[in-house]
Chains A and B, each alone.
Chain A
Amino acid sequence: MSEDLERPKYLHTDSERGIKVVVIHKTDTGFGFNVRGQVSEGGQLRSINGNLYAPLQHVSAVLKGGAAEKAGVVKGDRILEVNGKNVEGTTHRYVVELIKSGGDQLTLTLLSVSPSDAEKLEPTEETTGYSYIDYTEKRSLPISVPDYHYVERKAEKFVVYDIYMAGRHLCSHRYNEFVELHNNLKREFIGFNFPKLPGKWPFALSEQQIDSRRRGLEQYLEKVCAIRVIAESDLIQEFLTESNEENCGLLNVEIKVLLPSREVVTVGVSRNATADIVFEAVMRKVGLGGKAWQAFSLFEIMEYNFERKLQPGEIPHSIYIQNYTTAAATCLIIKRWLFSISEEIALCHNDQIATLFFHQAIDDVNRGFIYAGERLYQLKVLQDPGRKHDYLALARELPGYGEIIFPHCGCDSRKDGHVIPSIGLQQFRLRACSEDGTPESQIIEFPWDIVTSWEIDEEGMAFCLQYKKPEKNPRWIRIHTPYYVFLSECCDKVYQERRSQEEVG
């Protein structure tokens, strides 16, 4: 007999209700399907394809190439009849016995369901008790809504509330965006008792009402974000990082930036402003012109005593709101970005710029980057803004001035222990240290004229330097620092400054 394997032959189909009757002939792999369903008898009637049925056993698996598959049985099919007998609401055991009772032949009346319906009918993880989400785990977040401002868009003026986290401006949202968040949260976290949002009001709000609403929204956010699962949910994360699509580019945020003197400067920029733009904004606010810009840059405070320069394309705001490594108001700081001392001296004619260098130097001395040694006392005496030029003059003579020192890290030329890389105008230096960073006595110096090239290895996360000592072969040295990009940038800057110096002098 020729069997059409493409289209299974159904004895009888009721396509309107998705019902089909199939005949399965047992092969050496048996009937080739699994039955799954409830143990007990009876239950609530559920609608499938628009009709109500008692709980049905269903086909949970179909063996590929088996008898059931050939007969047209599909995974997920609900079993209505076995060998002519109705099995709606019956026990699992009864259905299995009926299947076995027919010997080698089996006639099934099946109800086909769509994959989405099959999912709904047999939920994979059903919680029998109360919701398993733990709402008791709380963690107080420093979230606040300290102010609001007006936005005018498409001839419509409305109020937008500014959300801050730990004193840093995250984003801004208008009232109905809060309402939407609230509704979405309620739908997602069914078991949780949500606090009330400040109410709706169809008319314009007075300043007092707006402020009262602001406070209400703040309380709402505080309470809701205190619950860990909610604070970490996608809904909240998106809400706190995004603003309205249209607002995105236009939204102004306030970013705080430190100066070398540890003063805080606040600038208003658009949220996705790049490091260049933010830097310029800060410099303008402080009143420094274009000349100063080449000697300073925007840095991110990474860890204790180390700051990383931001790349021009990076977006400071997102770093600003994510980096809380410092207890200070911000993780962004303006620092000197200049290796050449002669350049610096030239710039110091401008008193304001000199002040910046002055504070920078004090900081470096305090950290030990500039090795003061016995001159420390002298330095301290000069540590007064009125005597900054003298202070700087002294500091410039000390080793380590104008250098950038990196946190200790591993290096391929040293099997045990770490190194402390540092870069200055004259040389690239590696100082040996223990694995926990305690400096040791050994120091290797690579004056720039023996350095032939450098590059970064993204995958290996390392900075590679090639040098050639006279009468020797060129050699590579790999430094495994997480700041490999910054290190490379420092080398580029040094190279650039040395070249311009050569050209001048």
Chain B
Amino acid sequence: MASSFTRILSSKRNVGILSLVGGSVAAGFLLHREHVTAGEPLRRRYPASAEYPDLRKHNNCMASNLTPAIYAKLCDKATPNGYTLDQAIQTGVDNPGHPFIKTVGLVAGDEESYEVFADLLDPVIKERHNGYDPQVMKHPTDLNATKIQSGVFDERYVLSSRVRTGRSIRGLSLPPACTRAERREVERVVVDALSGLKGDLTGKYYSLTLMTEQEQQQLIDDHFLFDKPVSPLLTCAGMARDWPDARGIWHNNEKTFLIWINEEDHTRVISMEKGGNMKRVFERFCRGLKEVERLIQERGWEFMWNERLGYILTCPSNLGTGLRAGVHVKLPRLSKDPRFSKILDSLRLQKRGTGGVDTAAVGGVFDISNLDRLGQSEVQLVQTVIDGVNYLIECEKRLEKGQDIKMCSSGSNVPNTHLAGSGSVL
């Protein structure tokens, strides 16, 4: 049955009254910008100019795009659930950012945030996602794993393969804004659906509040357990409230398909295995995702998705596919080559240490994954990673033999990824 509550949106002068039930048909209609109405306007004692944040020391996408004029226009608005601009930008105000790494600096509290605050979110999305314009472009979704070509890597180099994404349950607020009841509802809906998975996807849920010491240790040893967020980027956005209430981890018995519940997003879905069979990892990823979607739809729920922004997640950086496909790969020689960064850039790949984001590489082993999230489909992004990593391995092999890297002209080893950066090395 559809979700158990009705939200009535109050009317403002020139916007009609809308009622939203459970989040199916009406939601799609609602998301056309002129029909999304704000919730109750905020009580303000001070004019917008007195409230405008001091962003002079800031280096994040929000700070680059939030002009006083946009702030003044949006600061009185709220989404139907009552989420406000100040709440959305709080994390970016509190975390001025890094001189080298530009963070996003704002989050969505619900699906409607992307509409009600579009005057800020659209330019942020454009900046973060290489000029993707949500007002005119459409995002392609493609979870057909059969289209993948040559996705099995040389296991002398690739130690493990992994694909992750996130999914949000339509009709429930996102982690920065959700109430305890909503968060528990997300947990209930997802865990209920996951219990319907069969075959190699059969698995079990471990709630953070109820897990035993042994279960906890096992999950740590498997590298599955997630901790209460400590990054101020996340805590300032309010995502860690009420921890560990309604948080948990589900994984299949084979430990190759894993879902995090109520961490930074409603769900994070991960397919992984040791070795280089990225094709199989992605195939299981697609199959698992589709099966979970089917199971929640049976129960009257659906994922947040629209054709402009693809899958809707908490952080604007994860819109579109929300997909990061990566490998742990040994590149001890190539990584010391001064051309390494440029090569990665032109392949539309990024490197991280083997502890994940913000960690260092150990023993020449790097986490290599796709840079992009929005504007290309899942299949395209995974193919990009496959082709790119194959090329990197070729480079490493050549360096091993004392040969120089073969810089390919466009069209040879590495296919055109359509937004190929500066196209310089290749």
Q: Do A and B come from one complex?
A: no
A residues touching B (Cβ–Cβ < 8 Å)? none
